[in-house]
């Protein structure tokens, strides 16, 4: 009963069933609707805009190929984000084996889009946030996210950035809600320490 209700409430359901009948235009609607969130998830996971774009394309193509297997047990969007999460993780593994770098210690300089950012010494100046450009600050946060282990990264992205519920996250990652909670705690703590190092006092 619960699942049936979900199917009905899934606003993408109409388009999904059209896609199953081979309507490519219906799929375009879904692409336009979800591509932004897909891209953001991928970008936060990978930390590279170009890579994220590639992953989003691959995700939609795999989703279209597998859309007949989509049973509607979860929301279509949840299913879609699961795909993009998995592809992102695979890509990360690939990149790591390609460019093997030692596991990033929290004390180490942090990798960002712009390259290495030197760990800054703790500063007592209270107005440090204001001094930073917004973008620069965000890049530092992203750098800290990048430094997280994959399994801590995904819960943080899905919960704190994308705002999914614990239930949705546990479905997407196929882990128990308790695991989601504990992982989320660890990743927040790790991020906190990282941010302290990068931007000084919080």
Partner 1 sequence: MECSNIQEKLSAYIENIISYEEKLLIEEHLKSCRKCSKSLSELRKTVKYVQSLEEIEPPQWLTQKIMARIRSEVVATRFRAEPKKGVFQKLFYPLHIKLPIEAFAAIAIVITAVYIFKTIQPEMKVVQAPTGSENVIAKDEVRKQSQQLRAGATIPKDEIASPLARNDRKGASSEEKVYAFKESKPILVKPAEPEMPAKKPENIEKYTEAPKAPAPVVKQEKIMPSAGAIAKDESKREAISAAPKPKELVEEKGSAARRDSISLTLKVKDLETVSEEIEKVFIQLGGKKIKTESFDNKKVIIIELSSKKLKELFEKLKLIGEVKEERVALEEQEGDIRIGIEIVGISDKK
Binding residues (CB under 8 A) for partner 1: these are 22, 24, 27-28, 31-32, 35-36, 39-40, 43-44, 49, 52-53, 56-57, 60-61, 64-65, 137-138, 141-142, 145, 156, 160-161, 163, 166, 181, 184-185, 188-189, 191-192, 195-196, 202
Q: How far is the CB of 74 from partner 1 (least distance, A)?
A: 21
Q: Which is nearer to partner 1, 78 or 142 (CB)?
A: 142
Cβ atoms 198, 144 nearer than 8 A: yes
Q: Which is nearer to partner 1, 155 or 172 (CB)?
A: 155
Reading the block at residue 17, the tokens are: 């069933």
Question: SS3 sequence, 68-135?
Answer: HHCCCCCCHHHHHHHHHHHHHHHHHHHHHHHCCCCCCCCCCCEEECCEEECCCCCCCCCCHHHHCCHH
Phi/psi at 67 (5° precision): -65, -25
Q: Which is nearer to partner 1, 101 or 135 (CB)?
A: 135
Q: Which is nearer to partner 1, 18 or 141 (CB)?
A: 141
Q: How far is the CB of 101 from partner 1 (least distance, A)?
A: 23
Q: How far is the CB of 100 from partner 1 (least distance, A)?
A: 28
Q: Which is nearer to partner 1, 8 or 193 (CB)?
A: 193
Q: Which is nearer to partner 1, 98 or 124 (CB)?
A: 124
Q: How far is the CB of 55 from partner 1 (least distance, A)?
A: 11
Count CB neighbours of 101 within 10 A: 9
Q: How far is the CB of 4 from partner 1 (least distance, A)?
A: 27
Helix axes of 134-147 and 177-199: crossing angle, nearest 10 degrees = 130
Q: How far is the CB of 48 from partner 1 (least distance, A)?
A: 11
| CA quadruple 191, 192, 198, 199: dihedral sign | positive
Query: Cα–chain-centroid distance for residue 30?
Result: 19
Reading the block at residue 151, the tokens are: 């399994």
């Amino acid at each position: 009963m619960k699942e049936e209700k979900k199917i009905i409430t899934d606003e993408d359901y109409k388009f999904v069933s059209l896609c199953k009948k081979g309507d490519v235009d219906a799929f375009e609607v879904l692409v336009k609707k979800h591509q932004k969130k897909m891209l953001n998830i991928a970008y936060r996971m990978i930390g590279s805009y170009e890579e994220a774009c590639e992953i989003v394309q691959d995700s939609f193509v795999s989703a279209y190929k597998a859309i007949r297997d989509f049973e509607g047990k979860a929301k279509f969007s949840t299913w879609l984000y699961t795909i993009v999460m998995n592809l992102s993780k695979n890509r990360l593994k690939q990149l790591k084996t390609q460019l093997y770098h030692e596991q990033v210690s929290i004390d180490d300089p942090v990798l960002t889009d712009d390259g290495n950012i030197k760990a800054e010494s703790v500063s007592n100046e209270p107005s440090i946030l204001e001094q930073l450009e917004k973008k620069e600050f965000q890049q530092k946060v992203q750098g800290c996210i990048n430094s997280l282990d994959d399994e801590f990264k995904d819960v943080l992205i899905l919960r704190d950035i994308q705002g999914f519920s614990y239930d949705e996250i546990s479905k997407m990652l196929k882990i128990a809600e308790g695991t989601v909670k504990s992982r989320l705690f660890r990743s927040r703590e790790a991020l906190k320490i990282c941010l302290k190092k990068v931007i000084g006092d919080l």
